[in-house]
Amino acid sequence: MIDKISEIAQGYVEETNVDYVGLWQIIIRVRHELEIVERVAVKKAVLMIIRELLAAGLEAVTLRPRAPVRVGWENQSVEYVLDRISREWDVLGRDPNPGEIVWFDQKRELR
């Protein structure tokens, strides 16, 4: 399963070259490709993928309808991002819908 998690993560790293990746996309892919249905196991696998995304240089962002559209989270430490996602997911009490909680993107240099 570790190899599949790395493969999924690498695919999302490549996808961020052209588009944002949402938490909901990762959840759906974990359920489908890893065939995990139990909620705690899904969350564990998703957080493992996110750990790899962050290690590969992606950052957690919020997308908004008005400028600035893309806002990086104030703290990009791996543990902060994973903890925040986990807590917000728990508060929802269900899997996040498209656009909820977090998106991932390539890091942007300040200009």
Q: What pLDDT is attached to residue 110?
A: 47
Q: Which CATH fold would you assign to the domain 2-106? A: NMB0513-like (1.10.3510)
pLDDT for the residue 108: 77
Amino acid letter, residue 105: D
pLDDT for res 111: 34
Q: H or E element: which one contains 62?
A: strand 58-63
- Output the CA–CA distances (angstroms, integers) from residue 69 to 61, 63, 85, 103, in the order listed: 10, 5, 20, 12
Residue 76's pLDDT is what? 97
Burial 16-54 (b: 16+ CB within 10 A, else e): beeebbbbbbbbebbbeebebeeeeebbebbbbbbbbbb
pLDDT score at 109: 62
Delimit the domains of the chain by residue range.
Answer: 2-106
**What's the predicted TM-score (pTM) here?**
0.93
Q: Collect the ranges in the chain with pLDDT lower than 50.
A: 110-111
Beta-bridged to residue 22, according to DSSP, are 103
